[in-house]
């Protein structure tokens, strides 16, 4: 199954249908729909940027992953949609985020350096 899904044809089909970019080296077709094409250009510029900071999705959260994601969604809503002060929201949400990480016992993940014990929110 993995071998099949890793073939260029399947990767491009997934890109066309779901806007999930290939995880293998393959050429991106020029005939994508406008939204996916714009996203592809942005992804390529970001990946080639000298200032790029690759990072992993949060790891080690187990069942707490949904709670972790909710902190980000709530923060976005408060800052971007409700126009609440950025620093205030981030300071308030930091405690909630730290508790989730502590409860999960999740160590830091890249780009942060490895940690002994739960990662510390800064």
pTM: 0.64
For 3-37, what is each residue's pLDDT tens digit? 999 999 999 999 999 989 888 989 989 899 999 98
Per-residue pLDDT at 94 exceeds 90? yes
Closest alpha carbon to 92 in 82, 78, 106, 105: 78
Assign 54 a pLDDT band (cuts: 50, 70, 90).
confident
Q: Are 102 and 117 in contact (CB under 8 A)?
A: no
Query: What residue has token string 């992993």?
Result: 56
Of all residues in the chain, the percent with pLDDT exceeding 90 is 69
Check whether 59 has a pLDDT greater than 90: no
Average pLDDT over the chain reads 92
């Amino acid at each position: 199954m993995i071998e099949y899904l890793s073939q260029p044809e399947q990767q491009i089909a997934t890109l066309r249908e779901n806007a999930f970019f290939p995880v293998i080296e393959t050429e991106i077709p020029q005939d994508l729909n406008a939204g996916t094409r714009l996203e592809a250009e942005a992804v390529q510029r970001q990946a080639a940027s000298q200032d790029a900071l690759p990072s992993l999705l949060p790891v080690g959260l187990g069942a707490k992953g949904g709670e972790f994601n909710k902190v980000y969604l709530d923060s976005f809503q408060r800052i971007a949609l409700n126009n609440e002060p950025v620093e205030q929201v981030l300071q308030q949400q930091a405690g909630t985020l730290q508790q989730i990480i502590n409860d999960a016992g999740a160590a830091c993940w890249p780009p942060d350096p490895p940690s002994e014990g739960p990662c510390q929110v800064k």
